[in-house]
Amino acid sequence: MYQETAEKLLSFIKKSPTAFQAVEEMRQRFLRQDFQELKEEEHWEIAPGRSYFVTRNSSAIIAFTIPQKPVYKFHIIASHSDSPAFKIKENPEISVENAYVKLNVEKYGGMLLAPWFDRPLSVAGRMIVRENGKLKEKLVSIDRDLLLIPSLAIHMNREVNEGYKYNVQNDLLPLYGGYEAGGSFMGLLAKEADVREDDILGHDLFLYCRTPGTIWGAQGEFISSPRLDDLQCAFSSMEGFLRAGRKESIAVHCVLDNEEVGSTTKQGAASTFLKDTLKRINAALGRTFEEYLMTLAGSFMVSADNAHALHPNYTSKTDPVNRPLLNKGVVIKYNANQKYCTDGVSAAVFKDICAQAEIPYQTFVNRSDMAGGSTLGNISNTQAAINTVDIGLPQLAMHSSYETAGVKDTEDLIKAAQVVFR
């Protein structure tokens, strides 16, 4: 079962080069399952026993199911749709000495820069175009090897392996074509989107890594792919949500954008998107504001974002006792300073969920001399305060352009998600 799930995960990630395509993939999946799409700008009618979803900015999505008999509790799993990447700047082409055309890009999020060199890349995202006098959004993804960031040869910097400080503006601009390619980049995107170049009025376009995902290792125990953080959790949440069947709470699958840049956007965890959606569900069920607050107090959220596994070459970087391993189950993440919002209560609830799902769990805490990362749970809690646990799947090389995880763990999180949503 877990191999089939791992293959499905790779296929989902391949179709999701940016947050826009990831959300569109989920949107299409929900439509095929008879979910009704709600629009934020329209009135919501919702009924018991039905399933719905709503998107914001085309890069965040919240799907939910109302139980047949009224149970007023939200059971939420929140993950994120974005990954660190390079964003294409305005007026992207730069010509180099009548020899090359390269693209002007800037960094989106904090990533390992070295893994972006010397591998095929392409471009994807969304464009805003004028069509019949109206502005319209079009998703684009150039599905071929189009760009590459070449390294400087060792002969031209003999000291590079002693450590090198990358400068994004100087070192990481991708090569697009020979001199003759000048002036063609936006035209290429226009052709892909079937619009006139002049009609492209705005864009949010990113480089993405073309290296295909793979299952590998002595016994096929590892899975590597771009964007495992956090599409592995988003995918597991979606699968668990769809598999959960009859639900005895208001099940909420929530995938937010911009986690990699601090979540403070209209579609990020610091926004009102989740809170607005929960309030509207409450109102559409004919409930008062006080009843909304009562519902929140009895609700539970799982903030699902990948975790660091023990690294084979850097074992000393992991806490001496809490050492997550690949293929050993879902990781509960703790931090005394509440960068992870797990506390004694939410940890206990989640351990009980794992027991019901019959899956293993592990624990992660940073070494006490390392700051570590953060995620969306505590940020989301400032908008909608819900008892929350931070969890994730163990992985290596987080924020590389090509990350590695355990082949079995996705299936475990799906099983846990089924229990959360049931």
Residue 346 C-beta-side C-alpha neighbours within 13 Å = 26
| Closer by beta carbon to Zn ion, 234 or else 244 | 234
Q: How far is the CB of 302 from Zn ion (least distance, A)?
A: 14
Per the listing, tokens 């001399």 go with: 369
Can you say how many angstroms the Cα of residue 191 is from the centroid of all Cα atoms in its chain?
28
| Closer by beta carbon to Zn ion, 24 or else 305 | 305
193 touches 203 (CB < 8 A): no
Q: How far is the CB of 296 from Zn ion (least distance, A)?
A: 25
d(CA 197, CA 200): 6
Q: How far is the CB of 233 from Zn ion (least distance, A)?
A: 8
Q: How far is the CB of 392 from Zn ion (least distance, A)?
A: 8
250 touches 64 (CB < 8 A): yes
Q: How far is the CB of 226 from Zn ion (least distance, A)?
A: 13
Residue type, 26: M
Q: How far is the CB of 403 from Zn ion (least distance, A)?
A: 10
For every residue of 186-255, DSSP letters joined together read: HHHHHHHHTS-GGGEEEEEEEEEE-PPPEEESTTS-EEEETTHHHHHHHHHHHHHHHHT-S-SSEEEEEE
Q: How far is the CB of 416 from Zn ion (least distance, A)?
A: 18
Report which of 231, 298, 260, 228 is spatially closest to residue 379, judged by C-alpha positions: 260
Count of C-beta atoms within a 10 Å radius of residue 319 = 18
At 14, which helix (H) or strand (E)?
Answer: helix 2-14
d(CA 311, CA 318): 8
Q: How far is the CB of 399 from Zn ion (least distance, A)?
A: 8
Q: How far is the CB of 374 from Zn ion (least distance, A)?
A: 10
At 60, which helix (H) or strand (E)?
Answer: strand 60-65
| Closer by beta carbon to Zn ion, 26 or else 140 | 26
What phi, psi does 357 have (nearest 5°)?
-80, -10
- β-strand 74-80 against 85-96: which pairing, if any? unpaired
Q: How far is the CB of 308 from Zn ion (least distance, A)?
A: 11
Q: What is the DSSP letter of 45?
A: -
Cα→Cα distances 194→57, 136, 181, 205, 225, Å: 22, 12, 20, 16, 30
| Closer by beta carbon to Zn ion, 295 or else 390 | 390
Q: How far is the CB of 336 from Zn ion (least distance, A)?
A: 20
d(CA 72, CA 287): 10
List, in sequence order, every beta strand (DSSP E) within 298-381.
300-304, 307-308, 330-334, 361-365
| Closer by beta carbon to Zn ion, 25 or else 259 | 259
At 78, which helix (H) or strand (E)?
Answer: strand 74-80
Give me 52's structure tokens. Answer: 């719905």
The binding site for Zn ion (CB under 5 A) comprises 229-230, 305
